[in-house]
Amino acid sequence: MTARLRTLATHPGLALAFRLYLGGLFIYASIYKIQYPAEFAESIAAYQLVPHFLVNPMAAVLPWLELICGALAVIGLRVRAALVVMTVLMALFTLSLAWVVALDIPIGCGCFTGQEAEAGPLTLLRDLAWLAMCLHALAFDRLLHLENRISWKISELPCPPA
């Protein structure tokens, strides 16, 4: 039973589902922010973590990073790198959120749009869940990678017994 649960929990299919979900999530999150970088810059500034001269460049670049990584994760190209970046981003977001919640800074999280409810513990839990999904995908995802097409060819080679 435990073995079945473990098999289910570590199943590559689950990791694929997480990967596709997170990819879609990142794409969705990036769209609005790409359109309104100034607004997103305010959200970043609200966290009071980034030096003032970096806030605007970050607001311009970060959504694109989300979009690229999300797209790569969805289409299955350079998935590992995309997942690593996504995990790092998600970890940063979560830490920032935790910082804000801990300091009780009254801001919206700025995760998707500029007009959001004030960030709180629930937002932090949601981000933690997404972070867990990222880590799971990073650990167990191996399906539907475009590079695997090459790997499949290699696995067809008659390998000598070890």
Partner 1 sequence: MARRLLHLTTLYETARELGAMSSPQEVMNAFLLTAMGPLGATRGFVLTVNRFTRETRLARRGLEPEETAGLGQDLDGLLAACFPDQPQPRFGGQEMLALQELPQPAPAPLPPDTRILAAWTARGGMLGVLGLSDRLDGADLDQDDREFLKGLAGTLAGALKTAQATENIRRLNLELAAKNAELEEAAAQAEAARGDQARRAYQLKTLFDASRELAPQTDTREMAESFLLLCMGALSMSQGLVLVRDSRSGTPILASRGVELPPDHALAATLDAAFAGSPGNPIPMSCKVLVDPRLLAGAGLPFPAAALCLFAVDESCQGILALGSPLTGEAPTPDELELLAAHASSFLVFLGKARNFAAAQQANRNLAQRNQELQQLLEEITQCRLDLEGEKRHKARIISFVERQSDRVQAASRLDFAVILALALLLGLVFNASNPSGADMVPLAWSRPPAERIDAGWAKLRRDNGAILVDARPVQLYKQRHVKDALNLPASLFDFVFAMRLARLASQTEIVVYGHTVSRLYDEEVAFLLKDRGFENVHVMEGGLPAWMAMGLPVEPAP
* 3 vs 160, beta carbon nearer partner 1: 160
Least Å from the CB of residue 5 to partner 1: 28
**Distance of closest approach, residue 13 Cβ to partner 1, in angstroms:** 18
Nearer to partner 1, 85 or 133 (CB): 85
Minimal distance in Å, beta carbon 3 to partner 1? 27
Residues that bind partner 1 (CB under 8 A): 34-42, 44-53, 55-57, 59-65, 67-69, 72, 78-85, 106-107, 145, 147-148, 150-151, 154, 157, 159-160
Would you say 73 and 133 are in contact if contact means Cβ atoms under 8 Å apart?
no
* Residues linked to residue 118 through DSSP beta bridges, in sequence order: 108
**Secondary structure string (H, E, C) spanning the chain:** CHHHHHHHHCCHHHHHHHHHHHHHHHHHHHHHHHHCHHHHHHHHHHHCCCCHHHHHHHHHHHHHHHHHHHHHHHHCCCHHHHHHHHHHHHHHHHHHHHHHHHHCCCCECCCCCCCCCECCHHHHHHHHHHHHHHHHHHHHCCCCCCCHHHHHHHHCCCCCCC
Q: Of the two residues 17 and 50, which places its CB atom closer to partner 1 in the complex? A: 50
- The residue among 8 and 88 lying less far from partner 1, judged by its C-beta, is 88
Task: Compare residues 62 and 133 and give the one whose CB is closer to partner 1.
Answer: 62
Minimum Å gap between C-beta 82 and partner 1 is 7
Nearest distance in Å: CB 1, partner 1 = 33
